């Protein structure tokens, strides 16, 4: 049986150790990753947070969107189940060997959301299994601060959310409410505005824009009227958000409409982060104390030749809060999970 | 067998007349109505357009949303089939007696949309049946101009669309692209902005608003975080748009956020109409020629004590186009269908 650490394959003598296994799951609106790790004390945590990425992983499985607000409850539940079962199977393990599960899932906004997912997951595993369910922002935060939950995290992928953590345990969030409820800084928000700009240019309400030809070409459509049918043919948020690179490229080629959409996205993302900073007083009483701002997601990483959305967001925030320390971790969802499992080791009590 | 005209029941001696029957269908994003009329020459059209409302109706059936962009193709097809079969059954008739069908359905934006619905409907009826498929704006237009297709119509219900018709047959439209593509003047658009305002007030990005308590009360929710789950639990556009009366009431009670949302809706609806006027030159070369503007739908009719969205839209348009003549027909969907059947009688050739 082979496991891997930070991409390197490792051998384990006994993956069916009586200590069992733990599952970590990072569920986003675009993709979901689940890792399976041994829960045995012999390979458990030690050293500083830097050691998180060297935690040995038995297996990793991946799947699509697990945000129930995007794909519906039945599809989200199926994705969560499938990816966990697959990770266990790849590790030659099974549900009865599981000791603890950490699920960091986008769309978790309220205790009733945690309860819903708990009910989906609880029946699959022995009742002694410890289960933690949080918003995926928690895993993203940990990935940028070596496991420490302090500061603010901004996720801007298909969806977007700002999440803040104080050292005393207080938390606050802004945005993360999905496309109907005004997440205009998200990849979906950017792409929906670009599609809207095409409709407006076509029917005489808005300025002409190269987004028209650029997006029609990418979608293989011949007329702006066809954009309406394309948009509603499939309700997946990730499908709309996949147009972000076309918007960035159009802006870089000088299109003013595309440029304005990206500037608006930057403003919206910065506003979300600033709302969290204010509420938690992350910058201290004087507004100048240092704090980390972890930024992850496809929109943050959609920097091309000229446009760098993450950089612009950081600049806008630092105008009001000069102590902000932007961090753009170059880690995968897999590594994010290692960090969050690191953070939660004491709660999970699989460390000795 | 009984039929009714303008609400009054009429007797027909022979509803299974060899001349057969015709179906008229008005399909919106909130509701769908289908009427069945005799196609016999003995009761066919005569007189001016005023006579449209006295066309004798054998039966009327109603159902929910038939906009496939809102509820998906399978549900829309089922609704269309069901409501037509029900209207025929209520008239003690059947598919083989049908001579012609007029379908005025929201969501029809492109020839491929007409083709799609034609394929759904064609197989249900004899191949000799004449079938016309148009956007529901066409029926709404006819209802305000005694059957004449000239001028502009604005529908603002769950969705919104502006549609213009020239006497030479040219047509143009603006908006009508659904909630993802920027129909901010629609009932859905108004309600989505109100829900967004709640989220922003709650997470510190927006001003406080009485929309918060007013909408939570109506929905039976206890916390703004629960609004997210409520919003995505059911993708129906009409369910969101049903919150418009709460927004109007909040604005009338002095809430500035609600007031701003309604003003924005007015601006958006007026912009859509003005785009159509410009493209078709409905106000003539001098911009002052008279033309009718028919306004229908739940948003237009959502006037309460102070706020009258339709009136405000008319005022905004008349600033640029003083020849605009707003018409707000007090007719039901049933009567709209009578007008559109009147308009299309020559095409349908069931008049002799």
What is the tens place of the pLDDT at every residue in A248-268?
999 999 999 999 999 999 999
CB A135 within 8 A of CB A106: yes
Instruction: Collect all residues of chain A within an 8 Å Cβ-Cβ radius of residue B271.
Output: 205
User: Do A205 and B232 count as a contact with CB atoms less than 8 A apart?
Assistant: no
> Would you list the domain boundaries of chain A?
2-134+332-348, 174-321
Residue A193 has pLDDT above 60, yes or no: yes
Q: Which of A204, A221, A241, A269 to mutate to test the interface with B (most CBs of B within 10 A)?
A: A204
Min Cα separation B164/chain A (Å): 12
CB A297 within 8 A of CB A272: no
Average pLDDT over residues B154-177: 93
Give pLDDT, residue B3. 42
A292 or A50, which is more confident? A292
Min Cα separation B232/chain A (Å): 5
List, for residues B233-279, the tens digit of each pLDDT value.
987 899 999 999 999 999 999 999 999 999 999 999 999 999 999 99
Q: For residue A272, give the chain B residue with the closest CA.
A: B205
Task: Tell me how far the alpha carbon of residue B113 is from its chain's centroid.
Answer: 17
ipTM of the assembly? 0.85
In this complex, which of A177, A223, A272 lies closest to B228 when CB atoms are compared? Answer: A177
CB A310 within 8 A of CB A330: no
Min Cα separation A324/chain B (Å): 19
Give pLDDT, residue A5. 42
Q: Do B174-321 and B2-134+332-348 fall under one CATH topology?
A: yes
Residue A18 has pLDDT above 90, yes or no: no
Q: Which residues contact B234 (CB under 8 A, 6 or more apart)?
A: none
Radius of gyration of chain A measured on its C-alpha atoms? 21
Backbone angles phi, psi at A99, to 5 degrees: -105, -35
Banded pLDDT at A4 (limits 50, 70, 90): very low
Instruction: Provide the residue count of chain A.
Output: 352
List, for residues A105-126, the tens digit of each pLDDT value.
998 988 899 999 999 999 899 8
Min Cα separation B193/chain A (Å): 7
Looking at 3.40.50.880, 3.20.20.70, 2.60.200.20, 3.30.420.40, the CATH number of the domain B174-321 comes to: 3.30.420.40
Other beta carbons within 10 Å of A234? 10
Q: Which residues contact A221 (CB under 8 A, 6 or more apart)?
A: A227, A230
**Residue B76: Cβ-neighbour burial (10 angstroms; 0-12, 13-18, 19+):** buried
User: Do A279 and B200 count as a contact with CB atoms less than 8 A apart?
Assistant: no
> Over chain B, what is the mean pLDDT?
86
Using alpha carbons, select from B43, B119, B1, B57 the residue that is nearest to residue B333.
Answer: B57
Min Cα separation B192/chain A (Å): 6
Round to whole Å and give the CA distance between B288 and B190: 31
Residue B16 has pLDDT above 70, yes or no: no
Give pLDDT, residue B334. 59
Other beta carbons within 10 Å of B11? 9
List, for residues B312-343, the tens digit of each pLDDT value.
999 999 999 999 999 988 766 656 666 666 65
Other beta carbons within 10 Å of A182? 22
Instruction: Collect all residues of chain B within an 8 Å Cβ-Cβ radius of residue A275.
Output: 203-205
Q: Which residues contact B288 (CB under 8 A, 6 or more apart)?
A: B321, B322, B323
User: Do A205 and B179 count as a contact with CB atoms less than 8 A apart?
Assistant: no
Residue B74 has pLDDT above 90, yes or no: yes
Taking an 8 Å Cβ-Cβ cutoff, which residues of chain A contact chain B?
A: 68-70, 109-110, 112-113, 172-182, 192-193, 195-196, 199-200, 203-205, 223, 225-229, 231-232, 235, 240, 271-272, 275-276, 278-279
Eight-state DSSP code of residue B293: E
Cβ-Cβ pairs closer than 8 A, A with B, add up to 127
> Over chain A, what is the mean pLDDT?
86
Structure tokens given for B259: 């007031």
Using alpha carbons, select from A90, A4, A45 the residue that is nearest to residue A335.
Answer: A4
Give pLDDT, residue A80. 97
Q: For residue B234, give the chain A residue with the closest CA.
A: A72
3-state percent breakdown (helix, strand, coil) of chain B, nearest 5: 45, 20, 35
Residue A3 has pLDDT above 50, yes or no: no
CB B65 within 8 A of CB B240: no
User: Do B205 and A172 count as a contact with CB atoms less than 8 A apart?
Assistant: no
List, for residues B77-121, the tens digit of each pLDDT value.
999 999 999 999 999 999 999 988 999 999 898 889 999 999 999
List, for residues B224-245, the tens digit of each pLDDT value.
989 999 999 987 899 999 999 9
Other beta carbons within 10 Å of B47? 8
Min Cα separation B129/chain A (Å): 27
User: Do A181 and B195 count as a contact with CB atoms less than 8 A apart?
Assistant: yes
User: Do A204 and B112 count as a contact with CB atoms less than 8 A apart?
Assistant: no
Structure tokens given for A86: 């697959």
Q: Which CATH architecture has domain B2-134+332-348?
A: 2-Layer Sandwich (3.30)
Round to whole Å and give the CA distance between B94 and B58: 13
- Number of helices (H), then strands (E), in chain B: 13, 12
User: Do B228 and A175 count as a contact with CB atoms less than 8 A apart?
Assistant: no
Structure tokens given for B143: 């209802």
User: Do B178 and A232 count as a contact with CB atoms less than 8 A apart?
Assistant: yes
Residue A173 has pLDDT above 70, yes or no: yes
Instruction: Collect all residues of chain A within an 8 Å Cβ-Cβ radius of residue B113.
Output: 229
Backbone angles phi, psi at A75, to 5 degrees: -70, -40
Eight-state DSSP code of residue A339: H
List, for residues A38-88, the tens digit of each pLDDT value.
876 434 444 455 555 566 789 999 999 999 988 899 999 999 999 999 999
Instruction: Collect all residues of chain A within an 8 Å Cβ-Cβ radius of residue B226.
Output: 110, 112
> How far, in Å, are A30, A248, A260, A292 from residue A308 at the CA level?
21, 9, 14, 19
Eight-state DSSP code of residue B48: S
Min Cα separation B125/chain A (Å): 26
| Stretch (H or E) spanning B8 | strand B8-11
């Amino acid at each position: 049986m082979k496991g891997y650490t930070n991409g390197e394959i490792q051998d384990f003598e006994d993956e069916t150790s009586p200590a069992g296994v733990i599952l970590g799951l990072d569920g986003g609106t675009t993709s979901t990753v689940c890792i399976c790790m041994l829960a045995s004390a012999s390979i458990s945590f030690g050293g500083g947070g830097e050691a998180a990425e060297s935690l040995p992983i038995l297996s990793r499985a991946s799947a699509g969107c697990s945000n129930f607000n995007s794909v519906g409850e039945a599809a989200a539940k199926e994705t969560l189940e499938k990816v966990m079962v697959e990770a266990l199977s790849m590790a030659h393990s099974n549900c009865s060997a599981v000791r603890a599960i950490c699920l960091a899932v986008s769309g978790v906004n309220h205790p009733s959301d945690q309860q819903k997912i708990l009910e989906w997951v609880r029946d699959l595993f022995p009742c002694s299994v410890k289960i933690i369910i949080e918003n995926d922002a928690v895993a993203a935060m940990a990935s940028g601060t070596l496991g420490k939950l302090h500061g603010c995290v901004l996720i801007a992928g298909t969806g977007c959310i700002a999440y803040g953590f104080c050292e005393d345990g207080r938390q606050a969030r802004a945005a993360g409410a999905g496309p109907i409820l005004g997440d205009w800084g998200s990849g979906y928000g950017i792409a929906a505005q670009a599609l809207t700009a095409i409709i407006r240019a076509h029917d005489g309400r808005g300025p002409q824009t190269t987004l028209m030809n650029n997006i029609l070409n990418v979608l293989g459509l011949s007329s702006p009227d066809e954009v309406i049918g394309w948009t509603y043919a499939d309700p997946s948020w990730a499908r709309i958000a996949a147009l972000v690179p076309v918007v960035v490229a159009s802006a870089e080629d000088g299109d003013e409409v595309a440029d304005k959409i990206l500037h608006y996205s930057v403003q919206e993302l910065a506003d979300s982060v600033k709302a969290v900073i204010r509420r938690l007083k992350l910058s201290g009483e004087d507004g100048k104390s240092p704090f980390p701002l972890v930024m992850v997601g496809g929109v943050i990483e959609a920097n091309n030749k000229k446009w760098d959305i993450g950089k612009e967001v950081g600049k806008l925030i630092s105008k009001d809060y000069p102590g902000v320390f932007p961090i753009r971790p170059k880690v995968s969802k897999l590594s994010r999970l290692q960090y969050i499992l690191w953070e939660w080791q004491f709660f999970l009590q699989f460390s000795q």
